[in-house]
Structure 1
Amino acid sequence: MPTNTLPDIGLGTMGIDEPQRIASAIEMGYRHLDTAQIYDNEEVVRRGIELADVPREDLFVATKVWADSLAPDDVLVSTETSLDKLGLESVDLLYVHRPIDAYDPNETLPAFDALHEQGRIRHVGVSNFTPSELDTARDVLDAPIFAHQVEMHPLFRQAELLSHARRHDTNLVAYSPIAQGEVFNLPELTDLAGKHDATESQIALAWLVEQGAVPIPRSNSDDHLRQNLAAADIELSSEDMAQIDGIDREKKLFE
């Protein structure tokens, strides 16, 4: 797998507590698995990986250090705990989950660099940062910021952060890409779903992929997992994209 790119669509695992769901997703083609310490399911992800008939080296596994573990020693200790739960010698991507509570860029980020230098993590990421916080992090870190994960969907389009990511060659990873089902209530997406013989959620995912963002939808249904993965094959025209970009409503789901 290239070191500077991610698969078009990954698997968000928040709320998934069945290892077989993870295994099924892997076997149907998902290669990017996203979890976090606060999700309390890193062991579920491990068991899913063990159940799936796919080599570890073909998978890209990401987790996140929660806000109360961002003091330097806690970063190191909690990451070792995450690796143990995941059953991995190293994790492909480790995020600062949110720049709050114990986060101090000058204290927290050198611990991420240390893990990177030790080979315990392949890439450093951040999540829910502002452009200013990204710039500060970039100044402090020795390792490049490989990915920035944020809420992003047709009702919260993140144009500034997308532009920032493009300028700095950073993957912008989109969580809640179907806005917790809100996309099914958008006539603009319903119209495009009919045009492309797709679902509204697939249109939302295709819109993200077309811009170069990496959506990580989650689902407890194998049918929906397959539909989500297939969304990468939908080709939206510039007029289709403009129709979604022209939605005049905004709804942020997470503060």
Structure 2
Amino acid sequence: MTNGSLRLNNGVDMPSVGLGVFQSPPDVTAGAVKAALHVGYRLIDTAAAYGNEPQVGEGLRDGDASRDEVFVETKVWINDYGYEATQHAFEKASGKLGVEQIDLLLLHQPLTSAFDRTLDAYRALEKLLADGKVRAIGVSNFMEDKLTRLLSETDVVPAVNQIELHPYFQQKALQEFHGAHGILTQAWSPIGGITSYGGAQKRTFDDPTLTEIGHAYGKTTAQVMLRWHLQEGRCAIPKSVKSARIAENFDVFDFELNDDELAAIDNLDTGIRGGPDPDSITLENYSVEIPEA
């Protein structure tokens, strides 16, 4: 699909562009969600570990869309892995969000140091799906080896794997694995915001290939990157708390990149990850106690 929605492997439709709220301070998150809904977003992505699920819920209640129009996605953090704990994690998340059913529930990271707990957590997602408490389930930051084991030891193929993906880090082999197994690729940091962290010397927003393409269409580099994701069949969840930028990131359905432009962006891949190696995520280093609703 090049716009509108994407069909998951269980027949559920998910919008192709959503608002991400990673590192969105709680005091501005509700306003960002309301701004997004006002300009037409119908997908909101959050996570237990972000600490802003209650504010996302506030924005959903006060926004310009009814609950059945909005696709709500959140993630279970590694502290809540395990069959019973993950089922309770759903209760915490749904209570904070103020929803009875979550549209897409993901495992936020593979807990490599205790992968049996990860598998038990995913089996809890399968139970939540069977009980109708969630409409689709998936994972985030799972590499091919972890997906292979998950597929071999559980019953439901993940609908989504949400991964770092932008022009400078494209994970092409992982995307091919997704395609072979009917898993939708969802891009976090889809416009390369992570390339701006820590005084990075090479930012996607300054890339001459992207700026040149943008000039041809009267679009920003961010809009070009989002259009690239859409035309290659991915879901993208750009993050912003600024109303003007939120609107800009949604204004990507009125132009189309040609094959040469898509290929030029594909060729920008550096293979350099901006976020942490998923195998480095352990309870010792990344423990976050998730409070009750």
TM-score by length of structure 1 reads 0.94
What's the counterpart of residue 220 of structure 1? Answer: 241
**Partner-residue secondary structure (3-state), 2:15:** coil
Residue 230 (1) aligns with residue 251 (2): yes
Residue 126 (1) aligns with residue 120 (2): no
Q: CA deviation at 1:254?
A: 0.4
CA distance in 1, matches of 2:23, 2:269: 31
Residue 165 (1) aligns with residue 178 (2): yes
Among 144, 148, 158, the alignment partner of 1:135 is 148
CA distance in 2, matches of 1:197, 1:22: 27
**Partner-residue secondary structure (3-state), 1:89:** coil
Q: CA deviation at 1:11?
A: 0.9
Q: CA deviation at 1:145?
A: 1.1
What's the counterpart of residue 50 of structure 1? Answer: 61
CA distance in 2, matches of 1:157, 1:225: 23
What's the counterpart of residue 94 of structure 1? Answer: 105
Gaps of 5+ in 1: none
**Partner-residue secondary structure (3-state), 1:46:** helix
Q: Could you say which structure has the greater relative contact order, defined with CA pairs below 8 angstroms and 6 or more residues apart?
A: 2
Q: Deviations over 1:104-126 (max 9, x none)?
A: 24422211111111211111110
What's the counterpart of residue 8 of structure 1? Answer: 16
Q: CA deviation at 1:249?
A: 3.2
CA distance in 1, matches of 2:128, 2:207: 43
**Partner-residue secondary structure (3-state), 2:159:** strand
Q: CA deviation at 1:168?
A: 1.9
8 A contact 1:71–1:102 mirrored in 2: no
Alpha-carbon RMSD? 1.6
Q: Deviations over 1:16-55 (max 9, x none)?
A: 2221221110121111110000000000110000101311
Instruction: Say if 1:220 and 1:106 are closer, same or farther in 2 by CA, change over 3 A.
Output: closer
Instruction: Say if 1:248 and 1:51 are closer, same or farther in 2 by CA, change over 3 A.
Output: closer
Q: Deviations over 1:61-93 (max 9, x none)?
A: 010001111122211112111110001111011
CA distance in 1, matches of 2:160, 2:146: 14
Number of positions where the alignment pairs a residue of Structure 1 with one of Structure 2: 255
CA distance in 1, matches of 2:164, 2:205: 17
Letter in 2 for 1:228: N
8 A contact 2:12–2:136 mirrored in 1: no
What's the counterpart of residue 82 of structure 1? Answer: 93
Moved segments of 4+, more than 3 Å: 1-5, 248-251
What's the counterpart of residue 38 of structure 2? Answer: 27
